[in-house]
Amino acid sequence: MRIRKRKWTDKELNECRFYIKNGEEFKGKWKEKFNNNNPIHLELGCGKGKFISQLSVKNSNINYIAVDIIDTMLGLAKRNVELEFEKQNKKVNNIYLVRHDVERIMLIFEEEKDKVERIYINFCNPWPKSKHKKRRLTYPTQLENYKKILVKNGEIYFKTDDDDLFNESIEYFKNTGFEIVKKTYDLHNEDIFENNIMTEHEEMFSNEGIKIKALIAKYN
């Protein structure tokens, strides 16, 4: 998603206590960073933060790491997180926004120490050309990396508007040892997530009449 730079972005992010510019500094130390033993959930590509802001404020017993590489997106996500917590009269204490390339997520995680219980992949780039498919966040190489940091029975929640990406991702999951426990080709008529939280892209595609595909894959 192309988005124009906001002048306030750098200043607000630099002053934000739940923003991390260099996630590699905390590799192997995420439990210590949160200062508790709550489970960790990870969102790859948080965008403007509509999804993760609503999710994190509802689940104070879960720690969230939301990753994106675009500063302006992270700035907007920061504002959305603050807004949602302010609505509930709560202090932001269970989420970090991290500036990092999601395709290289293993650079900020230590497979023996940084275990996550759930990974969210929402409307990632479908990379439709054959020569680019290896860049997909659901490509087998990436799934093998996620397995290194997922706990036993850890889950991946995946949503997309793209039919080809969804169908091919189903095979990626199966071929890398994941069990697909739920799937749907029309999420808004079959909410497999129970109280689905819509992302910005999800609203846009739904308004265009495009059905949302989704699945839950478990690593046994």
User: Does any domain span residue 86?
Assistant: yes
Residue 2's pLDDT band (cuts 50, 70, 90): low
pLDDT for 194 equals: 86
Beta-carbon neighbour count of residue 85 at 10 Å? 19
User: Does any domain span residue 191?
Assistant: yes
Kindly report the average pLDDT of the chain as a whole number. Answer: 96
Residue 213's pLDDT band (cuts 50, 70, 90): very high
User: Does any domain span residue 4?
Assistant: no
User: Does any domain span residue 3?
Assistant: no
Question: pLDDT tens digit string along 94-145?
Answer: 999 999 999 999 999 999 899 999 999 999 999 999 999 999 999 999 999 9
- Taking only Cα atoms into account, the Rg of the chain, rounded to an integer number of angstroms, comes to 17
pLDDT for 112 equals: 86
Using DSSP's 3-state secondary structure scheme, residue 178 falls into strand
Residue 28's pLDDT band (cuts 50, 70, 90): very high
User: Does any domain span residue 19?
Assistant: yes
User: Does any domain span residue 121?
Assistant: yes
Closest CA to 73 of 7, 24, 119, 9: 9
b or e along 93-129 (b: 16 or more beta carbons within 10 Å of the residue's beta carbon)? ebbbbbbbebbebbebbeeeebbbbbbbbbbbebbee
Rounded-to-integer distance, Cα 49 and Cα 171, Å = 29
Q: What is the CATH number of the domain that holds 116?
A: 3.40.50.150
Rounded-to-integer distance, Cα 58 and Cα 90, Å = 10
pLDDT for 25 equals: 97
Rounded-to-integer distance, Cα 154 and Cα 24, Å = 23
One-letter amino acid at 114 equals D
Rounded-to-integer distance, Cα 23 and Cα 65, Å = 10
Kindly state the average pLDDT of the residues 4-20: 93
Structure tokens at 201: 């892209």
Half-sphere exposure for 64 (CA within 13 Å, toward CB): 27
Given a cut of 70, whether residue 157 has pLDDT beyond it is yes
Q: Token match 């690593």: residue? A: 219
* Residues spanned by the domain of 121: 9-219
Rounded-to-integer distance, Cα 155 and Cα 149, Å = 11
Rounded-to-integer distance, Cα 75 and Cα 72, Å = 5
Q: Token match 């120490």: residue? A: 113
Question: pLDDT tens digit string along 49-105?
Answer: 999 999 999 999 999 999 999 999 999 999 999 999 999 999 999 999 999 999 999
Given a cut of 90, whether residue 4 has pLDDT beyond it is no
Residue 218's pLDDT band (cuts 50, 70, 90): very high
User: Does any domain span residue 94?
Assistant: yes
Q: How many domains does the chain have?
A: 1
Structure tokens at 86: 């302010």
User: Does any domain span residue 56?
Assistant: yes
pTM: 0.96
